[in-house]
Structure 1
């Protein structure tokens, strides 16, 4: 009984300490680590969040770019940082695909980092070259089944989200299509417009101009729900592949053992920031929508679900990083 009482007492003290730490947080300047080079959408969003956090928290928030190795260098840096909430990580959906594609990482993507808040999410577009005789997902599946192994799909490179979205489609629709990787989404879009490859899953910003110019045909969005930005397009799931769901997203993580009250405080602050006009406009420019209501618990469950899904696809489709 005495041991149990002491254990309970220690747990209470830890809880009180964590709550007190959250009330005092932040006690020093913060860092927003972006595991990508300056200038891209992740960098812009990371800097916007840092600017707003600085105003709301009353402490300097410095944006720090740590690109390289499929974004894993920056991820590892934050995973090994002091778990006090003062070092944050701006990630994309690539965080979950990297966890699946790379056999060895210098951190555990499930336990060494914790999800703080999702910032925004949006669909990829399933597009085809206009010469391909299909105008729906069902017609694409039928065509692929009539030509097993002869229909190609492009991607931004092995293990990227356009590649993984296509591989999930191939596995879910049970079709035989061949992957043709390019060095980035821009050359992949150019190749699809030129007719080098007939099928491409691409981000909205990368492909929408070509769709509107009728140089690509959009068949569907990849998310479970239709996009408010493109409400006329069906989802892949409703158009013929039940259960299909792929989103591109941005989120903020922290070191895995960061006290829950601090994580909760940051979640509240970031959700408020995401509702501001300039942040919403930036997210919309990337073809996505702000995520205003996702709890810490739901975000972390989503991270685990996505990592498990991509690991399954990597194993089934024998995918290797380029």
Structure 2
């Protein structure tokens, strides 16, 4: 069965490459020498930022146009998505988003857009591992010791996130729930500022995408307690999962995908999807993704649309369970 699925995926990718060549050349001629803007509703140094910039050159080649990456963090990612929503549906403004985009409706009382009608899902690209990291001064090296540390702090330990209601906030809340402990949430305006204060010791722990903290783990600026995957990842083989550390329910997949504004023609959706498949199949990009620990499996546009709807329902339940109040 696995071989059949692999063969089907390969055939789909080959078909996408052909489509990218045909549709892409026609669109490239029509669009002239214009630049494709990819908006990230995330700060520099976030997992999505690292991934997108790694694939930037390959995306430019596949799309047939120069690609610029713009970080537009703020309001937990709402500002960046709003930029994409307000853009003309001409294929020249796209967004690369994470789980955060489907969490918005559950944690914000009002949004300047409707995810059901104002966004065009183009592709779910894959997911990146989430790790729980601590400042080295925290006296814990594994889940058991860390849980004991949190219990000793009686809820006074501080954890950081890239914003209230973001996937990193929920990932930390999920750990606390699974471990049966409490801690105080300190939201930041992006992953970069969050990591700065975590390394500086202003906060004691956080969850983060593996690509965004790899260098800090290697340098010793941060210490990893565990990784929230079902199995160990090749990019960090020495890092134990929380499943094997006695927390079987703590598995988090931080996915990332490509979106466009509403009204994007079906032909452009297919063309961009094909270009994304092509870019992530580039040998250099594939090697970099593997080193970062990312799992790549680019979906069809149809699957992306149903995935968004399913994820909104899933996170609505998680937000309610975590007791996060809409702001």
TM-score (normalised: structure 1): 0.72
Structure 1 residues 38 and 218: alpha-carbon distance in aligned structure 2, compared to 1, 3 A threshold: closer
Secondary structure of 1:239's aligned partner: coil
Structure 2 equivalent of residue 108 of structure 1: 114
SS of 1:164's partner is: helix
Tell me how far apart the structure 1 counterparts of residues 55 and 211 of structure 2 sit (CA, whole Å). 21
Structure 2 residue matching 1:28: 3-state secondary structure: helix
Question: Does 2:123 align with 1:117?
Answer: yes
Does 2:304 correspond to 1:304?
Answer: no
TM-score, normalised on structure 2?
A: 0.71
Deviations 1:40-94 (A, max 9, x none): 6756765776654554455x45547483643434423433556565643222343
Shift, 1:262, TM fit: 4.5
Determine the structure 2 residue equivalent to 1:13. Answer: none
Question: What's the CA shift for 1:230?
Answer: 0.6
Q: Structure 2 vs 1, CA of residues 257 and 240 (structure 1 numbering), >3 Å: closer, same or farther?
A: farther
Mapping for residues 1-322 of structure 1, pairs under 5 Å: 26=27, 28-29=30-31, 31-36=36-41, 52=58, 55-56=61-62, 58=64, 60=65, 63=68, 65=70, 67=72, 69-70=74-75, 71-81=77-87, 85=91, 87-145=93-151, 147-182=153-188, 184-258=190-264, 260=266, 262-280=268-286, 283=289, 287-289=292-294, 291-315=296-320, 316-319=322-325
Question: Aligned with 1:294: secondary structure?
Answer: coil
Deviation at 1:34, TM superposition (A): 0.7
Q: Could you say what secondary structure the match of 1:149 adopts?
A: coil
Structure 1 residue 179: deviation in Å?
Answer: 1.6
Structure 1 runs not aligned, ≥5 long: 1-21
Secondary structure of 2:30 counterpart:
coil
Query: Are the aligned partners of 2:43 and 2:71 in contact in 1 as well (CA < 8 Å)?
Result: no
Structure 2 unaligned spans of 5+: 1-21
CA distance in 1, matches of 2:43, 2:130: 23
Q: Which protein shows a greater Rg?
A: 1
Q: 1:251 to 1:232 in 2, by over 3 A?
A: same
RMSD: 3.9
- Corresponding residue SS for 1:150: coil
1:246–1:304 Cα change, 3 Å: farther
